[in-house]
Amino acid sequence: MSGPSAQCPSCGAEVAFRWSGAVQTTCGYCDSILVRHGTDLERVGKVSEPPPTTSPIQLGTEGRYEGRRFTVVGRIVYGYERGGWSEWHLVFYDGSSGWLSAAMLEYSVSFLVEDAGPIPYEAQITRGLRLRLFGDTYEVTDTTPARYLGTEGELPWEYHDRGDMTFADLKSAGGRVVTLDQSEDPPLVFAGEYVDFDELSLENLREDAGEVLHHEQVRTLNCPRCGSSVEVRQAGMSVNVVCASCASVLDATSPGAKVLQSFEKRAHLEPLIPLGAKG
Ligand SMILES: [Zn+2]
Ligand SMILES: [Zn+2]
């Protein structure tokens, strides 16, 4: 599956597309985020750092879903209060596009549904709400406020300047899943199902995957407010950490660990981490 290629407007490197339908890609040499206009590429930003991952999947991973072979060509990474997850962009050999969602070792494959019918306003979508979609009844099981963290590789649309958004997860009695991406109005509707990792028959996985999966990753950063060293467990998954010394809430995903929230009146606070705990 070889697609067209073009020149990176930033560094001049040849940027080859795995998929001819790609609208956005990243330059493998200078990390520019590039958007395609016909045969030209426009630089719209830069990948600040490789999006964190604890997944064995990578660009170029191949697999099989319902007997159809696919290649992983892109990724969007989101953060939420308990960590992060990746939406891997799959391109099937017939040129169609799908998504493999990998969150905390739980995998699902889904497809964008055009013309899904009317969807209630975001404010009306709350846990327990039932919706009739594609001839089936779905119940909202979760709404998840999330934050766009980054992209890599080829995507079917422009996706580089996002902020906060809310996702809604719905399930049918038969085990089908629907995700509403409410960053768009009307929301993007993805329909699919949970999949067993082994049944995807994935090849060309990351070689260090075993290590990533089986050992807890720990790194330390320095609190930019008080200078104490702060341990980040599950590096790459943790989004927010709390400095045990000054109780600042730090963004572990930003370079230099930006302070998200700090507490001036420490003396009046209950300790966030029990004394004696290794923080
Ligand atoms: Zn470049
Ligand atoms: Zn601190």
- Whether 215 shows a pLDDT value over 70: the answer reads no
Question: Near ion ligand 1, which residues have CB within 5 Å?
Answer: 8, 10-11, 13, 27, 29-30, 32
- Whether 152 shows a pLDDT value over 50: the answer reads yes
State the distance from the centre of ligand 2 to the C-alpha of 276, rounded, in angstroms: 17
- Whether 273 shows a pLDDT value over 70: the answer reads no
Mean pLDDT (the chain) is 81
State the distance from the centre of ligand 1 to the C-alpha of 155, rounded, in angstroms: 17
Confidence of residue 1 (pLDDT cuts 50, 70, 90): very low
The predicted pLDDT at position 192 comes to 96
The length of the chain is 279
Instruction: Give pLDDT tens digits for 90-121.
Output: 999 998 999 999 876 788 999 999 888 888 88
The predicted pLDDT at position 216 comes to 44
State the distance from the centre of ligand 1 to the C-alpha of 245, rounded, in angstroms: 42
Report the alpha-carbon angle 251-254-258, nearest 5: 50
Ligand whose nearest atom lies closest to the CA of 279: 2
The predicted pLDDT at position 53 comes to 60
From CA 259, how far away is CA 220, in angstroms rounded?
Answer: 15
Instruction: Give pLDDT tens digits for 43-89.
Output: 998 886 655 566 789 899 999 999 999 999 999 988 888 777 889 99
Ligand whose nearest atom lies closest to the CA of 6: 1
Query: What is the interface pTM, i.e. ipTM, of the complex?
Result: 0.53
Beta-sheet strands, E only, within the chain: 5-7, 14-16, 24-26, 32-37, 40-46, 62-65, 68-80, 83-92, 97-103, 106-112, 130-133, 136-153, 164-172, 176-181, 188-195, 218-222, 229-233, 240-242, 249-251, 259-261
State the distance from the centre of ligand 2 to the C-alpha of 235, rounded, in angstroms: 18
Ligand whose nearest atom lies closest to the CA of 230: 2
State the distance from the centre of ligand 2 to the C-alpha of 78, rounded, in angstroms: 26
Pairing of strands 40-46, 62-65: unpaired
State the distance from the centre of ligand 2 to the C-alpha of 262, rounded, in angstroms: 9
- Whether 268 shows a pLDDT value over 60: the answer reads no
Ligand whose nearest atom lies closest to the CA of 247: 2
- Whether 258 shows a pLDDT value over 80: the answer reads no
